A = this chain, B = another copy of it.
Amino acid sequence: MADFNEIAKQFVAHYYTTFDTDRKSLAPLYREGSMLTFQSDQLMGAGAITEKLASLPFAKVVHKYDRTDAQPTPNGILIVVAGQLLVDDGEQPLSYTQTFLLAQDAAGSYYVQNDIFNLVVF
Contact = CB atoms under 8 A, between A and B. Distances in A.
User: Copy number in this complex?
Assistant: 2
Q: Chain A interface mostly helix, strand, loop or mixed?
A: strand
B95 A69 contact: no
Nearest to A77: B114
Interface residues of A, number: 26
A25 interface: no
B116 A73 contact: no
A71 B122 contact: no
Interface of A: 35, 37, 40, 66-67, 69, 71-75, 78, 80, 82, 95, 97, 99, 101, 103, 113-114, 116, 118, 120-122
**Which of A35, A71, A74, A95 is packed against the most chain B CB atoms within 10 Å?**
A71
